[in-house]
């Protein structure tokens, strides 16, 4: 009976160690939640771009429409933080990686178009 108690104690210690390691490795995404704005540089056609990151891991990419002023085309996505980078999962299955630096996000889109988003809310 004494041996079983020692093994149970070791199991609890190992389980607690794994749990604490998991908590430390998970980064809170609360500080990244918000609305980020960007103006596309070098393209007169491209209007305002808005990136909204929500608390639940969902997000919305909004691009202003040239057809009607004040309207936006919206594309939903899922997002998470991994190793300090923003990972945007598109519905088509692609992943776009953004580098986070304080209140800015720098992304390179397919076609080598670089965008910088600044947090506004």
Per-residue pLDDT at 91: 83
The confidence band for 111, taking pLDDT boundaries of 50, 70 and 90, is: confident
Contact in structure between 117 and 97 (CB atoms under 8 Å) = no
The confidence band for 121, taking pLDDT boundaries of 50, 70 and 90, is: confident
Distance CA 30, CA 32 (A): 5
The encoded tokens of residue 116 equal: 């910088």
Q: To which residue do tokens 């918000």 refer?
A: 34
Question: In angstroms, what is the C-alpha Rg of the chain?
Answer: 21
pLDDT tens, position by position, 21-33: 554 455 566 788 9
Residue 112 has pLDDT above 50, yes or no: yes
Residue 56 has pLDDT above 50, yes or no: yes
Question: What domains appear along the chain, each with residue ranges and CATH number?
Answer: 30-119 (2.40.128.500)
Per-residue pLDDT at 110: 78
Backbone angles phi, psi at 48, to 5 degrees: -75, 140
Query: pTM score, two decimals?
Result: 0.67
pLDDT tens, position by position, 59-101: 998 887 766 666 778 889 999 998 889 999 988 888 889 998 8
């Amino acid at each position: 009976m004494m041996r079983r108690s020692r093994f149970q104690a070791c199991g609890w210690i190992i389980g607690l160690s794994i749990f604490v390691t998991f908590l430390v490795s998970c980064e809170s995404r609360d500080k990244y939640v918000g609305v980020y704005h960007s103006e596309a540089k070098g393209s007169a056609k491209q209007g305002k771009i808005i990136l909204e990151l929500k608390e639940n891991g969902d997000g919305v990419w909004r691009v202003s429409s040239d057809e009607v002023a004040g309207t936006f085309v919206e594309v939903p996505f899922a997002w998470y933080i991994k190793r300090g980078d923003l990972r945007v999962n598109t519905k088509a299955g692609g992943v776009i990686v953004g580098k986070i630096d304080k209140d800015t996000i720098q992304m390179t889109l397919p076609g080598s178009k670089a965008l910088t988003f600044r947090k506004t809310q």
